């Protein structure tokens, strides 16, 4: 306030105030207007405000006999003259001031308005920082540029761009608008990567400063340029950009509302000659179609005498006059006088000959301001209404694309529903829907005539290659490693990255830089942090995508799944000759065997007195009991040889045996199909609850995860550097288990046998390539990785580096040959028992038949002695074979006849 008053002290004020004291209805109500009439805004606003003044005064009854007078002051684009104009209006007792035209002067003159209670209304000074709290007597009668920047931010998000360049003048309006844009972009994970600041619009006399900034922009990565300036500077920017070849394919230009004002005010012929702006997007304050608007547009050519076309600010100028007129009407209708009084603060100043008393306070200013902000009417811009924060209700914009024959409207933006191809007023009655699927714009013709949306960035043309950090691993070198100690790198991760790069539609010059000494695995958190500090432009390797890292960098789509698992020594439970016994527990085997005897005994009791098969010597009855019990499993017709009661018992027992047999078969099949592994470590829960030591890979995030998330004491953790160290530590008991990522573990298990994964993965993540936050290359690389996956090339790279095995698989299903070998090994014990039983049975049978042969086929006493022993042995063998082949019943009958014959021939011979 002080510096404003100091400025006033250098101004000689004169004139008398026209105070309408005592008059209830003043003859004239003065309203000041400060514009630069040589500008498009000022010229159009002047015509529109005069038209509104005539329309208000055309009905004498509207203001009760008073007339509204608009006093136009031409500031000639000069700040000092703007101040002079405001002071003159304060002398002439103006109830309000329309303007100033620029936000620079709005910040200055609002202090005057606050001090003298004179409302100041502007539809062009739309700086978002002009808040009602700081400047209560300053009212923006058009939507603040805050909404304009929000609309641009949503357009940038819609098209998938992340980095933009802002080109603007160094004044309050342009600067604060860009600041608001940066805030809006930040909330959408986008950013302004460079701010190109130009001198004030009024002081630019040559394009030199503009060319310098455009050349800088030309060498940068981003190709999305936001131009927030004024018509004069804006035209120069596009003319020089066209000369520099920056209006060709690949560039995106978005101009704020200054360009749409020029488009509306240009003649069609002049627009067709403007090659420099073809393909540019711009925005225009949206005004819905209405009868009032159509009538005013129809009058415009007559009002302007064809000198200038009507732009949207002409409509807001017209409505602003009507807002003041309605407030004046309400003030007069309330019975209040329009009066002005001296400012005691100014009177106390010792200004010499300065006539500071000429500046007067509007006594009813606060009340008049209240009537202004409570205005609710239907104007040529649509419904007019202020929200409690003084912002305009339902702000909206038209989105325009400049083309060869003029311009096309490709859609709308509203604060209610975002981007749409439907007029906003048709959506206000529906619930707000800002989802991405509900955002739509029509097709755009981009600079250079392209119809495909530009990706919005390129590699800067400065000859610098991307510096890509690569971990210099000491172990698991199949993933990434140095070639013979040189700077060349190879491995699974490198091949995936190079294959993805080839799928991009543009070249990506790059070089790999090793991180670490190669003697031990580097710390991956430090490696990723180097991306944020600019040491590396990206990191490629076996980098796990974990929460801590995603907060500082952007990762691509995972190119391999990962997750922490537990590895421990194991033995195969079904890799024994007695695996067939495992389906039943020992108690089950004992109970089953007991019931065979119990059922046999019950059948014996039921059948003993009535069935001949269950009678005879005890030895025979015991054999019968066992035979009936066990033969029931195979011969269901056995029940037909017993009584009805016994048949019921046997049928029930048969049913039980069938269920037991089927359960045994199913369980045995499951055991033989799926490998059963035995280890005291069952999974991560075992590690958490135990006090055993746990190994982890040096440099892996597994260490911090076990400490922070699993609450495992650091003293229990043992760092290990290589697969060989893994195996040694597990074998000698240094650690009971190892926690590491799945890809490392799979590679370890393919080389070292006797270990297996215990339990399930207890984290879910993957490996990706790290880029700086909001890097567009991360998005393109993600798309390329998906392409590698869909074509099968990703799997081929995996097979090349990682598909090898020196051990049978302990963690998954085996091959068909392995399964057959597994079955033979598992049944070997059963076959041995069967073989031994067969051998014993044959031995007993052979001993018995030899004994019977020897007892029943002694040499005849009267036989003639043979001439040689060989003939005797041959005859004996033939006789034995004939005896072996002969049916037992016939042998017994023949032997009985022989004995009877011997008795009849030699009765005295002992039998």
Token pair for 784: 């390329």
Query: Residue 886 pLDDT more than 70?
Result: no
Select from 617, 615, 616, 607 the least CA-distant residue to 650.
Answer: 607
Instruction: Quote the tokens at residue 818.
Output: 């392995």
- CA pair distance 238, 331, nearest whole angstrom: 48
Q: Is the pLDDT of residue 570 over 90?
A: no
The confidence score (pLDDT) of residue 779 equals 87
Q: Which residue has the tokens 């034995």?
A: 880
Instruction: Provide the pLDDT for residue 111.
Output: 87
Burial (CB count within 10 angstroms: exposed 0-12, middle 13-18, buried 19+), residue 843: exposed
pLDDT at 346 over 70: no
DSSP string for residues in 783-813: HHHHHHHHHTHHHHHHHHHH---SS--SSSP
Query: What's 405's DSSP letter?
Result: T
pLDDT at 43: 94
Cα distances from 187 to residues 162, 183, 395, 436, 568, in angstroms, run 12, 7, 20, 15, 47
Helix (H, G, I), strand (E, B) or coil at 695: strand
- Between 772 and 911, the more confident residue is 772
Cα→Cα distances 32→305, 426, 663, Å: 24, 37, 100
pTM: 0.68
pLDDT at 821: 45
623's tokens = 């054999």
- Give the pair of three-digit tokens for residue 644: 């009805």
Structure token digits, residue 709: 């998330």
- Helical (H) or strand (E) element with 490: strand 489-490
Would you place residue 891 in the very low, low, confident or very high pLDDT band (cuts 50, 70, 90)? low
Say which range, 111-125, 526-540, 796-810, has the weakest mean pLDDT.
796-810
Alpha carbons 526 and 533: distance in angstroms, whole number? 11
Q: How far apart are CA 642 and CA 606, in angstroms?
A: 9
In which band, very low, low, confident or very high, does the pLDDT at 254 lie, cut at 50, 70 and 90? very high
Q: Coil, strand, or helix at residue 894? A: helix
Cα(82)–Cα(673) distance, integer angstroms: 92
C-alpha distances out from residue 714 to 201, 692, 702, 778, Å: 64, 12, 12, 36
**DSSP bridge pairs for 74:** 35
Question: Tokens 């890509």 identify what position?
Answer: 468
Could you tell me the pLDDT band of residue 64, with boundaries at 50, 70 and 90? confident
pLDDT band of residue 838 (cuts 50, 70, 90) is low
Pairing of strands 560-562, 694-697: unpaired
**Looking at the predicted structure, is the pLDDT value of residue 38 above 80?**
yes
Beta strands in 702-769 (DSSP E): 717-720, 737-741, 755-758, 765-767
| pLDDT given at position 21 | 41
What pLDDT does residue 237 have?
A: 94
Sign of CA dihedral 299, 303, 308, 313: negative
From residue 841, how far is each of 831, 838, 854 by CA, in Å?
A: 15, 5, 20
For the record, the structure tokens of 828 come out as 């070997």
Q: Which of 42-46, 143-147, 177-181, 404-408 has the weakest average pLDDT?
A: 404-408
Share of the chain above pLDDT 70, in %: 80
Which tokens hold the place of 900?
A: 């009877």
* Mean pLDDT on 883-905: 66
Distance CA 634, CA 41 (A): 106
Higher-pLDDT residue of 834 and 75 is 75
Q: How confident is the model at residue 355 (pLDDT cuts 50, 70, 90)?
A: low
Residue 290: predicted pLDDT: 95
Q: In the 8-state DSSP scheme, what is residue 544?
A: B
595 CB-contact burial (10 Å; exposed 0-12 / middle 13-18 / buried 19+): middle
Distance CA(908)–CA(206), nearest Å, equals: 158
Indicate the average pLDDT of the chain.
83
| Dist. CA 72–CA 855, nearest whole Å | 150
Q: What is the mean pLDDT of residues 754-770?
A: 90
CA 724-725-728 angle, 5° bins: 85
- 725-739 pLDDT, tens digit per residue, is 999 999 999 999 999
- Phi and psi at 161, nearest 5°, equal -90, 155
Burial of 570: CB neighbours in 10 Å, binned 0-12, 13-18, 19+: buried
- The mean-pLDDT minimum among 123-127, 243-247, 860-864 falls in 860-864
Please name which of 570, 560, 504 lies closest in space to residue 747, comparing C-alpha atoms.
560
Q: What mean pLDDT comes out for the span 128-136?
A: 89
- SS3 string, 252-316, reads EEEECHHHHHHHHHCCHHHHHCCHHHCCCEEEEECCCCCHHHHHHHHHHHHHHCCCCCCCHHHHH
The confidence band for 84, taking pLDDT boundaries of 50, 70 and 90, is confident
Contact 49, 317 (CB under 8 A): yes
pLDDT band at 889 (very low <50, low <70, confident <90, very high): low
> Rounded to an integer, what distance in angstroms lies between the CA atom of residue 165 and that of residue 154?
16
pLDDT classification of 23: cutoffs 50, 70, 90: very low
pLDDT tier at 813 (50, 70, 90 boundaries)? Answer: very low
Q: How confident is the model at residue 803 (pLDDT cuts 50, 70, 90)?
A: confident
State phi, psi for 445 to the nearest 5 degrees.
-95, 110
Q: Is the pLDDT of residue 884 over 80?
A: no
Task: Pick the closest to residue 246 from 281, 217, 271 (CA basis).
Answer: 217
Q: What is the pLDDT of residue 868?
A: 62
Residue 239 CA to residue 247 CA, distance in Å, equals: 10
Strand extents, DSSP E, 563-679: 564-569, 571-572, 677-678
Return the minimum-mean-pLDDT range out of 265-274, 388-397, 516-525: 265-274
Q: How confident is the model at residue 910, as a pLDDT?
A: 54
Would you put residue 189 in left (φ > 0), alpha (ψ -120 to 50) or beta? left
pLDDT of residue 666: 76
In this predicted structure, the answer to whether residue 180 has a pLDDT above a threshold of 70 is yes
- DSSP H or E stretch at residue 848: helix 816-856
DSSP 858: P
Confidence check: pLDDT of 15 > 80: no
Residue 609's contacts (CB-CB under 8 Å, 6 or more residues apart) are none
pLDDT digits (tens, 9 = 90+) for 592-607: 777 777 777 777 776 6
DSSP letters of 701-732? THHHHHHHTS---GGGEEEE-SHHHHHHHHHT
């Amino acid at each position: 306030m002080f510096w404003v008053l100091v400025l006033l002290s250098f101004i000689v004020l004169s004139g008398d105030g026209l105070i309408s004291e005592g008059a209830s209805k003043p003859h004239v109500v003065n309203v000041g207007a400060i514009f630069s009439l040589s500008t498009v805004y000022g010229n159009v606003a002047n015509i529109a405000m005069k038209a509104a003044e005539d329309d208000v005064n055309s009905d004498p009854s509207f203001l009760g006999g008073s007339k509204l007078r608009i006093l136009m002051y031409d500031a000639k684009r000069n700040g000092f003259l703007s101040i002079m104009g405001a002071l003159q209006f304060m002398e002439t007792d103006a109830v309000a001031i329309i303007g100033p035209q620029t936000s620079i002067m709005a910040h200055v003159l609002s202090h005057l308005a606050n001090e003298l209670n004179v409302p100041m209304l502007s539809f062009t000074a739309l700086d978002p920082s002009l808040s009602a709290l700081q400047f209560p007597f300053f009212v923006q009668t058009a939507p603040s540029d805050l909404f304009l920047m929000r609309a641009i931010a949503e357009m940038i998000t819609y098209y998938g761009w992340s980095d933009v360049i802002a080109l603007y003048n160094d004044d309050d309006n342009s600067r604060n608008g860009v600041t608001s844009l940066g805030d809006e972009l930040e909330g959408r994970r986008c950013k302004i990567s460079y701010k190109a600041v130009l001198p004030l619009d009024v002081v630019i006399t040559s394009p030199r400063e503009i060319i310098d900034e455009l050349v800088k922009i030309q060498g940068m990565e981003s190709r999305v340029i936001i131009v927030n300036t004024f018509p004069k500077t804006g035209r120069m920017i596009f003319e020089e950009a066209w000369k520099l070849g920056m209006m060709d394919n690949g560039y995106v230009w978005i101009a704020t509302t200054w360009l749409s004002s020029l488009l509306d005010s240009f003649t069609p012929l002049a627009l067709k000659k403007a090659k420099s702006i073809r393909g540019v997007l711009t925005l225009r304050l949206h005004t819905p179609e209405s009868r009032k608007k159509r009538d005013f547009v129809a009058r415009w050519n007559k009002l302007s005498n064809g000198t200038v076309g009507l732009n949207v600010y002409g409509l807001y100028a017209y409505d602003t006059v009507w807002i003041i007129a309605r407030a004046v009407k309400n003030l007069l209708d309330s019975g209040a006088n329009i009066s002005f009084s001296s400012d005691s603060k100014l009177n106390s100043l010792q200004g010499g000959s300065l006539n500071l008393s000429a500046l007067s306070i509007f006594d009813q200013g606060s009340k008049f301001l209240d009537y202004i902000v409570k205005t609710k009417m239907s104007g040529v811009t649509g419904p007019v209404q202020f929200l409690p924060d003084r912002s305009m209700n339902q702000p909206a914009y038209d989105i325009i694309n400049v083309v060869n024959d003029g311009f096309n409207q490709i859609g709308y933006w509203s604060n209610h529903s975002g981007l749409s191809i439907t007029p906003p007023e048709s959506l206000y009655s529906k619930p707000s829907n800002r989802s991405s699927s509900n955002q739509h714009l029509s097709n755009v013709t981009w600079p250079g005539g392209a119809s495909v949306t530009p990706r919005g960035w390129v590699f800067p043309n400065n000859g610098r290659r991307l510096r890509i950090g690569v971990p210099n691993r000491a172990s698991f070198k199949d993933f990434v490693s140095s070639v013979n100690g040189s700077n060349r790198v190879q491995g699974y991760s490198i091949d995936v990255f190079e294959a993805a790069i080839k799928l991009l539609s543009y070249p990506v010059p790059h070089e790999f830089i090793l991180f670490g000494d190669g003697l031990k695995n580097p710390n991956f958190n430090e490696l990723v942090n180097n991306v944020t500090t600019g040491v590396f432009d990206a990191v490629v390797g076996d980098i796990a995508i974990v929460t801590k890292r995603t907060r500082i960098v952007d990762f691509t789509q995972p190119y391999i799944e990962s997750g922490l698992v537990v590895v421990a020594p194991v033995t195969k439970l079904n890799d024994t000759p007695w695996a067939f016994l495992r389906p039943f527990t020992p108690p089950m085997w004992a109970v089953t065997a007991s019931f065979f005897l119990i059922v046999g005994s019950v059948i014996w009791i039921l059948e003993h007195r009535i069935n001949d098969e269950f009678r005879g010597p005890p030895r025979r009855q015991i054999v019968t009991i066992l035979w009936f019990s066990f033969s029931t499993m195979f011969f269901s017709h056995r029940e037909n040889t017993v009584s009805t009661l016994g048949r019921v018992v046997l049928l029930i027992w048969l049913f039980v045996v069938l269920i037991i047999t089927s359960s045994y078969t199913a369980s045995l099949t499951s055991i033989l199909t799926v490998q059963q592994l035995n280890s005291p470590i069952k999974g991560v829960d075992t590690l958490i609850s135990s006090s055993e030591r746990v190994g982890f890979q040096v440099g892996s995030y597994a260490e911090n995860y076990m400490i922070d998330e699993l609450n495992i004491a650091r003293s229990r953790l043992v760092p290990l550097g290589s697969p060989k160290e893994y195996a040694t530590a597990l074998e000698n008991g240094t650690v009971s288990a190892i926690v590491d990522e799945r890809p490392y573990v799979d590679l370890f298990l393919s080389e070292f046998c006797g270990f297996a994964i215990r339990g399930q993965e207890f984290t879910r993540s993957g490996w990706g390539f790290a880029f700086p936050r909001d890097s567009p290359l991360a998005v393109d690389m993600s798309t390329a990785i998906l392409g590698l996956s869909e074509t099968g090339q990703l799997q081929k790279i995996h097979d090349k580096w990682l598909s090898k095995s020196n051990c049978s698989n302990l963690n998954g299903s085996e091959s068909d040959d392995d399964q057959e070998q597994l079955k033979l090994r598992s049944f070997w014990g059963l076959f041995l028992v069967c073989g031994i039983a067969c051998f014993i049975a044959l031995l007993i049978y052979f001993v018995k038949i030899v004994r019977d042969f020897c007892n029943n086929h002694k040499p005849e006493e009267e036989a003639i002695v043979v001439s040689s022993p060989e003939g005797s042995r041959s005859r004996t063998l033939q006789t034995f074979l004939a005896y072996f082949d002969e049916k037992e019943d016939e042998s017994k009958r023949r032997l009985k006849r022989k004995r009877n014959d011997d008795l009849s021939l030699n009765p005295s011979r002992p039998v």
